[in-house]
Structure 1
Amino acid sequence: MESEILTRGLLYLSLTLLGVPGNSIVIWAFVRLAYQERHLLPADAIVLHLASANLIVVGVRCLLESLATFQLSDVFSDTGCKAVIFLYRTSRSLSIWLTFVLSAYQCLSTAAPGSRWAAVRALAARNLGCIFLVLWLINTSMSSAAVLFSLSSRNNSSLMQHGINVQFCFVHFPSKLSRDANGAAQVSRDVLPMALMTTASLIILFFLYHHTHQVKSVHKSTCSRGGSLSSERRAAITVVTLVTLYVIFYGVDNGLWVYTLTVKETMSSSVVSDLRVFFSSLYAAVSPFVIIVSNKKVKKLLKCELEEKLLLNTETALSSV
């Protein structure tokens, strides 16, 4: 196996080993929490949906790419390429928009009770299911080009005039105009939530700074509201961290995508495409660990589960003596 292929396979395998368990743990924690408490807070429901989208990103792209690279399994026929690229693009864009929804909801949480923005937050919480449905419909429709133009690289190596090489598959467009239009639509779909969530994060940071300054100047406020402030700050910092990761990883991803569209020589090379997939999947693989480390509910559930297992193993060991 060539060193380039081996390196590629190991990179995708590392993302798989990070992303699949990490997102699975987050999903398990919030599903269990929903079962125990009979409901989820809106922010927790958004995080659960985000982890589900990230799991699909890592599962359908990184895991399958790893298996194909090491020749363990290969689903990249014409039909397989259409399915994989469609699911990857849909879940990838869902991950982006759900990160924006999470940052926007946290931003609205800073609004004063009884204000217009607080009413918007309450309205969003009541209609969260509709928001998820609209995001699914928009992103699946915008990923439909993958179903129309994706082909297996094994049988279609000659169709690269207006195509993009994604290692095991080609995305072959009928014309340069259709390729550039699809590329522009994808960039716009990513840049818009990037701008919006960056704005929301700046508002959150400003609120945290202003609130902390107020608390420092009034010692009694610190004593009476310390717990609430700590929880509020922790949730805000989590969101800002996720947005920062998104801006870094997807910023590189979109920069490479624009480079792919504008430099003709990159059309036939899969290296740039591999880098794009790596950086966009890196967010899906790393973000669950930010959630696990910063979310008290998830940490508490994991701690209880670990203690139960240790207690069970101890009792089993004692009974066998």
Structure 2
Amino acid sequence: MSSEEFVRGMFYLSLTVVGVPSNIAVVVAFLLLIYRENRLLAADAIILHLACTNLLVVVVRCLMETLASFYLANVFGDTGCRIVIFIYRTSRALSIWLTFLLSAYQCLSIAPPGSRWATARAILAQYLVFIFVFLWVLNTTMSQAAILFTFSTKNNFSLTNNAVNVQYCHVNFPSKLSKEINGALQVGRDVVPMALMTLASLIIVALLYKHSQQVKVLRSGSRGSGGAEQRTAKAVVVLVTMYVILYGVDNGLWVYTLTVKTTMSSSLISDLRVFFASLYSALSPLVIIASNRKVNSNLRCAAQEKPDLEKSTYQSK
């Protein structure tokens, strides 16, 4: 094993070690919430869906890259390349759109009761399942190039100047125009929710700041009245900052691969793109765990119930 393979394997292993258990923890917390309360609020459903999508990103791409880097499994044949890249691109895009959806819903949640924004929030919650289905259809449709043009590096396929090197796989576009159209669609699919999410999050922060100032004037003696709002604002700011930085770098590198004049863009660029895009999926559940009271309480209850269950089982014997 070369030093380069070892380093890239360790990078992907670190994302796997952080991303898999943290996303599973968020999913388990909300499944426990469903079991105990037999219902799930719209914001909670979005976060649960986001955690499942992030888990898919980390498992399908980071775990597979780790296994391949350390020669533990050979998953990148022609079929494996198509499946991995297709699922990765679809789930990665879903992660972006679900983060925007969560930000937009939180923005609408601040609206005063009876306003048209409150009505929009109720409509969004009512048709949330249809929105999920629409996002899945949209993003799977826009990831079809991964199935049509992806081949394993082990395949002696004749590459063109429009091929993109994805380490163990090549995305070999039939023409420069198809490569540029696909690239523009990928960038647009990311930039649109980025702009909308940033706007929604800025509105959230501005409204929460205005409200906190009003609370300070009216209840200067109360110290805990704005705590929950401040936690929400901080969580939104952290998620948006992570989103803009990590996906901004990812899309900047993708634009570079579209404009580079060599036969194939460097596999290092591909590794950096996957790393920065997957880093959001690995770190965002940590932000959710740290800021979401429901996740915290359900995880604590699960941790407390396990020793009690083991103790009762031992006593029954």
Which band: TM-score by shorter chain?
Answer: over 0.9
Q: Deviations over 1:19-41 (max 9, x none)?
A: 11111111111111111111111
Matched length: 317
Specify the SS of the correspondent of 1:39: coil
Which amino acid is the alignment partner of residue 271 of structure 1?
Answer: L
Alignment of 1:119 onto 2:119: yes
Is the deviation greater in 276-285 or in 263-272? 263-272
Alignment of 1:291 onto 2:288: yes
Q: Deviations over 1:117-137 (max 9, x none)?
A: 110001001110011010001
In the alignment, which of 220, 241, 244 is matched to residue 244 of structure 1? 241
Q: Deviations over 1:211-270 (max 9, x none)?
A: 1110111117x74x955x433432333233212111111011001111111122382420
Distance 2:39 2:292 in 1: 17
Specify the SS of the correspondent of 1:45: helix
Task: State the TM-score, normalized to the length of structure 2.
Answer: 0.95
Is the deviation greater in 158-167 or in 23-32? 158-167
Percent identity, aligned pairs only, is 62
Distance 2:107 2:233 in 1: 8
Which amino acid is the alignment partner of residue 54 of structure 1?
Answer: N
In the alignment, which of 250, 267, 270 is matched to residue 267 of structure 2? 270
Counting helix residues as a fraction of each chain, which structure ranks higher?
1
Is the deviation greater in 290-299 or in 211-220? 211-220
Specify the SS of the correspondent of 1:171: strand
Aligned partner of 2:22 in structure 1 is 22
Which amino acid is the alignment partner of residue 98 of structure 1?
Answer: L
Q: State how 1:105-254 maps to structure 2 within 5 Å.
A: 105-156=105-156, 158-219=158-219, 223=222, 226-227=224-225, 229-254=226-251
Aligned partner of 1:96 in structure 2 is 96
CA drift at 1:305: 1.9
Distance 1:160 1:316 in 2: 64
Distance 1:153 1:177 in 2: 23
- Give 5+ residue unaligned stretches, structure 1: none
Alignment of 1:300 onto 2:276: no
Specify the SS of the correspondent of 1:151: strand
Q: Is the 8 A contact 1:55 1:284 kept in 2?
A: yes
Q: What RMSD over aligned residues (CA atoms) do the two structures have, in Å?
A: 1.9
Aligned partner of 1:43 in structure 2 is 43
Which amino acid is the alignment partner of residue 74 of structure 1?
Answer: N
Distance 1:149 1:210 in 2: 51
Specify the SS of the correspondent of 1:264: coil
- Give 5+ residue unaligned stretches, structure 2: none
Task: State the TM-score, normalized to the length of structure 1.
Answer: 0.94
Specify the SS of the correspondent of 2:248: helix
